[in-house]
Amino acid sequence: MSHEPLAGFTVGVTAARRREELSSLLERKGARVVYAPAIRLVPLADDTELLDATQGLLADPVDDVIITTGVGFRAWLETADGWGLREDLIKLLNGARILTRGPRAKGAVRAAGVTETWSPTSESWEDVLRHLLEEDLTGRRIAVQLYGEPTPQLTGALRRAGAHVVEIPVYRWARTDDPTPLRRLVGQAVAGTVDAITFTSAPAVAATLAVAAEDNLDELLLEAMRTHVVGACVGPVTAAPLRERGVIPISPERARLSALVRVLAVELPARRASRLAVHGHALELRGHAVVLDGQLKPIAPAPMAILRALARRPGHVVSRAELCGVLPSRALPGGSYGRPLADEHAVEMAVARLRRGLGGGGLVETVVKRGYRLACDPMIAERPDDRPARAGLTGGLSNGSTV
């Protein structure tokens, strides 16, 4: 094969941090990347709150410190260094029991010369909480480094268990300054021109749904992610807001960007590709391209919409009137999502472009006065829902077909 596993697919990236790394990993796998930041990292405008919390810890040391993010821990140390308190803070941490939320937080702690006492293999604060609740917390002082927003489920549970909780506010998440790219990505997902959206934080999921709701597209976006758009989350914490809304995203077993891309490279073709034998050729439909006899051929949105409609009923005639309703709305001047084309001439033009894109070969036949068909045996087609689900992935595998 002359293409990478994600070639022909379009993937949305909503990450605020490490977006270049994630985009590069996806592009190396062949994906077309649409960058639409959902959130931004906002350092505390006034460090007084963080300074007060840090000085409070130094004056009255805690028993336990929960480090929730590597970037937050590093920012805390860097800020403390500016105050001349870094060495005192390191000494304090070395005298406490350190619990880290996953491998990245653990790596940041160790890089600072501090040794963690316990860390789950996941990046779930629920696992940290369960570990702590196995013992009597009455009277224990526990510091929790926040990661972008308050976590009342964690801090509240610790307080109810009798602990005195000190919150360490290092940074916070905010909506991106310009929501236009994200709004565009939501529209593309609803229209079916994006094949997957990646999320690396729960706040990014919340921000994406909020932007969709502002355009009354939140339910349409969720339905798209339940059917034809793959939601790819770096870990279970990130996936939780989608699961609460009935979306089953894919996640790697380890919360790593590289692992997320590897999972997507396996699952996206399994969910979004469809293979047919057409007029003696092997044809695979992907997001914005086809693979014809092993060669990747990009196809424009309108011709691809025609091809998908024909591939839903391989070998059967599809009328021009039916095909009017599948052309993407942006082919219409002033059109909106879901508005059908009334002009059958547009269908004829799209079919002509499809034939050129496929390189001829008689794959799309005209049936006079009736419509068009793929030149194949109606019984020969491999569709995504004919393939067995793969094991070992968080969230399992959806068997919904989009072609």
- Taking the whole predicted model, whether its pTM rises above 0.85 is answered as no
Nearest CA among 183, 188, 233, 226 for reference residue 10: 188
Q: What is the mean pLDDT of the chain?
A: 87
> Which stretch of DSSP H or E encloses residue 22?
helix 19-28
Domains 10-38+176-272 and 274-384 fall in the same CATH topology: no
DSSP state of 157: H
Confidence grade of residue 44 (pLDDT, cut at 50, 70, 90): low
Residue 164 near residue 141 (C-beta atoms within 8 A): yes
DSSP per-residue string spanning 211-239: HHHHTT-HHHHHHHHHHTSEEEESSHHHH
Q: How far apart are CA 383 and CA 251, in angstroms?
A: 23
Confidence grade of residue 387 (pLDDT, cut at 50, 70, 90): very low
Per-residue pLDDT tens over the stretch 164-220: 999 999 877 888 999 999 999 999 999 889 999 999 988 899 999 999 999 999 999
Q: Residues of the chain with pLDDT > 70: what percent? A: 88
Q: How far apart are CA 152 and CA 231, in angstroms?
A: 26
Residue 70 near residue 108 (C-beta atoms within 8 A): yes
Domain ranges in the chain are 10-38+176-272, 45-170, 274-384
Most confident segment among 114-123, 204-213, 273-282, 378-387: 204-213
Contacts of 84 (CB under 8 A, 6+ apart): none
Q: Please enumerate, as own/partner, the contacts of 209-214 that have beta carbons within 8 Å and a separation of 24 or more.
A: 209/241, 209/245, 210/175, 211/38, 211/175, 211/179, 211/182, 211/183, 211/186, 212/186, 214/183
Q: How far apart are CA 198 and CA 231, in angstroms?
A: 6
**315 pLDDT above the threshold of 60:** yes
- Residues 30-34 have a mean pLDDT of 96
Q: Nearest 10 degrees: CA dihedral of 131, 263, 274, 27?
A: 140
Per-residue pLDDT tens over the stretch 108-155: 999 999 999 999 987 778 889 999 999 999 999 999 998 766 778 899
In whole angstroms, how large is the CA radius of gyration of the chain?
Answer: 26
Task: Tell how strand 196-199 and strand 10-13 pair up.
Answer: parallel
Contacts of 151 (CB under 8 A, 6+ apart): 68, 125, 144
- Going 74 to 75 to 79 to 85, the CA torsion angle's sign is negative
Residues in the chain: 403
pLDDT of residue 388: 37
Q: Is 194 or 378 the better-scoring residue by pLDDT?
A: 194
Q: How far apart are CA 32 and CA 60, in angstroms?
A: 53
CATH number for region 45-170:
3.40.50.10090
Confidence grade of residue 49 (pLDDT, cut at 50, 70, 90): confident
In the chain, the N- to C-terminal Cα span, in Å, equals 22
Per-residue pLDDT tens over the stretch 233-255: 998 888 989 999 999 999 998 87
How deeply is 372 buried, as exposed, middle or buried, from its count of CB atoms within 10 A (0-12, 13-18, 19+)?
A: buried
- Count CB neighbours of 76 within 10 A: 25
CATH number for region 10-38+176-272:
3.40.50.10090
pLDDT of residue 341: 44
Q: Please enumerate, as own/partner, the contacts of 151-154 that have beta carbons within 8 Å and a separation of 24 or more.
A: 151/68, 151/125, 153/125, 153/129, 154/66, 154/125, 154/128, 154/129
- Count CB neighbours of 357 within 10 A: 18
Instruction: Report domain 274-384's class.
Output: mainly alpha
